[in-house]
């Protein structure tokens, strides 16, 4: 190695020794972990800061807001043949279609109430005192 030569580099910074580069790389790792921890704290604390300008629904992260806003901006050229409601995504239309069948494929084993989606049933099951202990352990 020649005097003044810095063969190890990262993000525009150059280092003479490999160990100095290794030490520097740890800064990136710590910064990433800190950002991830802060994001988790924000999500779980309910600190909602990003609101949709179309419907005022709120989100804990800008990326989730951006994903949500696509539902407003999508070309809504998919139409339900039963009721005429328009959708921008095939997945949304597919989820909507069972609502016209009159059948609710998911039902509560405690009270018999029916639901269109398993996620709705799971949320409902938490309302039963006998089952709430099971869900609090998850």
For 46-100, how does the pLDDT look when each residue is reduced to its tens digit (9 = 90+)?
666 788 888 878 877 788 888 888 777 767 778 889 988 887 778 888 888 888 8
Q: What is the CATH number of the domain that holds 136?
A: 3.30.160
The rounded distance, in Å, linking the Cα atoms of 36 and 41 is 9
pLDDT at residue number 1: 58
Q: Are 5 and 16 in contact (CB under 8 A)?
A: yes
Q: Would residue 131 count as lying in a domain? A: yes
Task: Using alpha carbons, list the distances in angstroms from residue 97 to 23, 76, 92, 94.
Answer: 56, 16, 9, 5
Count of the separate structural domains present in the chain: 3
pLDDT at residue number 116: 79
Are 19 and 38 in a shared domain?
yes
Containing domain of residue 130, as a range?
104-138
Are 94 and 110 in a shared domain?
no
Average pLDDT over residues 10-33: 80
User: Does the model's pTM come out above 0.95?
Assistant: no
Write the Ramachandran bin of 78: left for phi over 0, alpha for psi from -120 to 50, otherwise beta. Answer: beta
Q: Would residue 136 count as lying in a domain? A: yes
């Amino acid at each position: 190695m020649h005097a003044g030569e810095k063969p190890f580099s990262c993000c525009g910074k150059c280092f003479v020794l490999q160990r100095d580069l290794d030490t520097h790389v740890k800064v990136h790792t710590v910064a990433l972990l800190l950002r991830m921890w802060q994001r988790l704290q924000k999500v779980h604390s309910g600190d909602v800061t990003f609101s949709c300008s179309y419907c005022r629904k709120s989100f804990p992260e800008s990326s989730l807001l951006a994903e949500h806003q696509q539902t407003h901006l999508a070309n809504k050229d998919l139409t339900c043949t039963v009721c005429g409601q328009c959708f921008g995504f095939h997945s949304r239309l597919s989820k909507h279609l069972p609502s016209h069948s009159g059948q609710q494929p998911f039902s509560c084993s405690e009270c018999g109430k029916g639901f269109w989606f398993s996620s709705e049933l799971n949320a409902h099951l938490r309302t039963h005192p006998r089952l709430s202990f099971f869900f609090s352990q998850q």
